[in-house]
A and B are shown apart, each in its own frame.
Chain A
Amino acid sequence: MIMKLKVPVNSYEAAVKQIEAGADEIYMGLEDSHFNRMSYSARAQITSQGVHSNLRDEEFARIVEYAHSKNVTVDFTANCQHVTNSTDDFYREGFLEYVERGIHLGADALIVADIGNLIALRKRGIQTPIIAGSYLSGFNRETVDFLKELDVFRICIPDQVTFDEIKAIKKHTDLEIEIFIGYGCSNLAGVCNFCHNNGEKINVGVPCRAKFKMKHNKIANILDACPDCAICSIPKLYDLGIDSLKIIGRETDCREVAEITRMYKTAIQMYAEAGKIDRKEIISAIPWWENNMCHDRCKYENTSLLQSYL
C-alpha cells in the first residue's frame, strides 16, 4: 500500500489545488454558530490575519463530493482540547452536534484530541473511525496501547519523535500511523501555552520562533527547535510502511501549501517508481525551501537538533 499524503483544506479552491497537487487525504473543519472566532477544531474560524480556517456546510459538502469523486478521503477536525462542563451541558452537546454535522456532510473519519470527547463520541453511538490527534501525545508504545483501548484506528504521532522511535511504535501496533512532515512545533503538542490561531485578533506570530534577549544582551531565537522538513526521509518512511504523512497549514495560503504537497508527492512517487529520490531536483520546486527548511531542521535525520532530544 502506498504511503498517503494528508493535507489541510480551508476552501473549495484549496481542495481542488491540493488534490491536483497529489493529496490522498484531506482534513478540514466546520464553522459553528456557537462561536464568533473560536471553533471546535484546533484552529480559529477566523485567524488574526483574517483567514477563514473552517468551512460553511455547503462548501464542505461540495468539497466532500469532489474529494470522493477523486478517491480522496476526508478527515474531519474535531480536535479541540477544551470541552468542559457547562450549564445544561450545552458545550459538549454543541461539540457532538458539530461532529454529527461533519459526518452527515460526508466526513470519512474524525480527528479527536481530547479524552473526554473520545468517550463522549462513542457513548453517543457515533461509530465513525477516529484518529487520535497529536495533542493526545502518542510518544511511546504504552500511550499508543492506551489510545487503542479508546477505540481509535490511527494515531497521529507528535512532531518530536525520532525515526527509530516511530519504527518501534509501528512494529508494536496494528494501528495506522500518521506522522508530520511539514512545518513543525518547538514545544510538545499539548504542552504549549503559546496558543496562536485560536481566535485572537492580535498577531502573536509563532511565539517559539521569536527572538529573545538573553544574558550579555545576546539576541537569539533560543526557543526555536522546530523540525520542518522530511524530504530526505521519504525512502525510509516509505519502506517502514507509514500509513499517512501529514502537512499542516489550514491557516496558510492554499497556493503555498499546494506547492509543498506537490513536492512531497513527487518525492513519494519518485521513490515508489525508481527506488531512490533526487533531493536536489525535488526541493528546487520551492526556491525558499533549501535555506529555510533544510539542514538542521530535518525531522527524522540525525541532525544536531535531534541530538539535542532527551
Chain B
Amino acid sequence: MGTYEMRIDRLGFDIEQNYDTIQSFSIGHESCIIKFFKVIQQTDLLDFVRRQKEAGREIRIITPFVPEQHLDEMKEVIKSICKEECFKDSVIIVNDFGLMSYIHKIDENRKMCLGRSLLFSFDYAPWGHKIYENEPEKIQKVVAQINFYDDEKMEFYRGYHVSEIEVNLTAGTIDSLKEIQKAGFKVNVHKGSFLYGTQRSCYIRRCSAEQNCCGTECEYAEELEIEEFWGGAGYYKKPDDIAFPNPLYLRGNQIYGKAHDIPCDCFDGIIVDAE
C-alpha cells in the first residue's frame, strides 16, 4: 500500500484542514515558476510544512521547468532551500534537466525524483492505442511503456541521485512501472489529475493584459469541452471514434484531465491534489 502525498501548490491551500490520511506533503509547483516562487516563500505555508515535519511527515519540494529568464533566481532559491533545516533531507521533484544537473552540482547527495514532465509514453495520448494499434504486438508493448524503463536512462539518472519517478498512470504503462520498481526506483502515481500538456504561456495572462500574476486567479480550473478540431484546411467536428478527455481542465499553464480509474495500491506513492 503506497503512502499518500499531497500537493501544496496553491496560495490558498487550507492549512487548517485535518490531513490525518496524508503521509507526505510536496510544496512548490509542477509547471509554473512564478507560482513556485510564491508558494515556496509564503510564510504560513512554510510554517505549516515545518509543523508537519515535526509531526513526522515527509516534506518534499516540487519544482517546474525553468525558463532562462528565471534561472538565476531559481538557483538562488534552490540554494537557500537546500540549506533550510526543514528541507534538509527533502526529495526534490524536478521537471527540468538543467535544474536536476544544477542541484546535483551544489548538493551531490540530494535525492531527486523525476517529474512527469520529463517522462513520456505513447499511452499518455488520449488516443494512444490508435497510434500503435497498427504495429506488431511486440512494438505495441514497447511504445506503450514509459520511456524511463530503459537501462541506459536508469543507470544515467542514478548518477544524479534520482531514486524516484512520478507518473500519470495508464493501463499500458503498469508493467513497465513495476519493472522500474524492481530496478530499485520508487514509483509515485498521480491520482488527482492526468497531465496532457504544459505551456509557457499562462492562459490567465493571455486573456488579460493587465494580469499581474497575483497567484489567485490561476488557482481555479477552467473546464473545457472539445467543440471542433482544427486541421490545415479549417475546423471540423470531432469524429465519433476519437476519445478526447472530457472534461479537460486548464489551470494557469497546465492542461489536464481526470486520472484514469486504475488501482494504484501497488505503487510507492499516491499523489493527490488539495482540491
Contact = CB atoms under 8 A, between A and B. Distances in A.
24 contacts: A37-B134, A38-B131, A85-B176, A139-B66, A139-B96, A140-B66, A141-B68, A142-B71, A142-B98, A160-B199, A165-B67, A188-B199, A190-B117, A199-B131, A205-B230, A206-B230, A211-B226, A212-B224, A213-B226, A222-B222, A225-B203, A308-B202, A310-B67, A310-B202
Contacts of A310: 32-34, 67, 70, 200-202, 205, 253
Given A202-B127, A206-B230, A143 B150 contact: no
Interface string B223-240: 111111111100110010
Contact of B230 (A84, A193, A211): A211
Interface residues of B, number: 85
Q: Name, among B75, B128, B227, the residue most crowded by chain A CB atoms within 10 Å (CB to CB).
A: B227
> Chain B interface mostly helix, strand, loop or mixed?
mixed
Given A143-B97, A310-B34, A198 B199 contact: no
Contacts of B202: 308-310
A214 B32 contact: no
A136 interface: yes
Given A82-B121, A191-B65, A136 B97 contact: yes
Interface in A80-115: 81-87, 90-92, 114-115
Interface string B127-148: 1101110111011011101110
B28 to A, nearest CB: 14
B229 A205 contact: yes
A169 interface: yes
B261 interface: no
A200 B66 contact: no
B195 interface: yes
B124 interface: yes
B223 A214 contact: yes
Interface in B206-233: 206, 209, 211, 222-232
The listed residue with most A CB atoms (<10 A of its CB), out of B96, B141, B150, B253, is: B150
B12 interface: no
**Interface size grouping (class) on chain A:** 35 or more
B206 to A, nearest CB: 4
B25 interface: no
A85 B149 contact: yes
Given A116-B153, A214-B224, A305-B206, A161 B67 contact: yes
Interface of B: 32-34, 65-71, 75, 96-102, 117-118, 120-122, 124-128, 130-132, 134-136, 138-139, 141-143, 145-147, 149-153, 156, 168, 176, 179, 195-203, 205-206, 209, 211, 222-232, 235-236, 239, 241-242, 244, 248, 250, 253, 255
A208 B203 CA distance: 13
A127 interface: no
B138 A87 contact: yes
Given A223-B250, A225-B206, A169 B68 contact: yes
The 3 closest A-B pairs by CB, nearest first: A142-B98, A143-B98, A160-B200
A261 B11 CA distance: 47
Nearest to B153: A116
Which of B68, B96, B228, B242: most chain A CB closer than 10 A?
A: B68
Most buried by A among B98, B195, B236, B239: B98
Contacts of A114: 147
Given A82-B121, A187-B255, A223-B250, 7 more contacts: A92-B150, A142-B75, A169-B68, A190-B117, A193-B120, A198-B122, A310-B67
Highest count of chain B CB atoms <10 Å: which of A34, A215, A310 = A310
Contact of A165 (B68, B149, B196, B205): B68
Nearest to A167: B68
Nearest to B104: A146
Contacts of A139: 65-68, 96, 98
A144 B99 CA distance: 11
Contacts of B102: 142
A273 interface: no
Contacts of A84: 142-143, 145-147, 149-150, 176
B206 A143 contact: no
A36 interface: yes
A136, A161, A164, A211 interface centre (most CB from chain B within 10 Å): A211
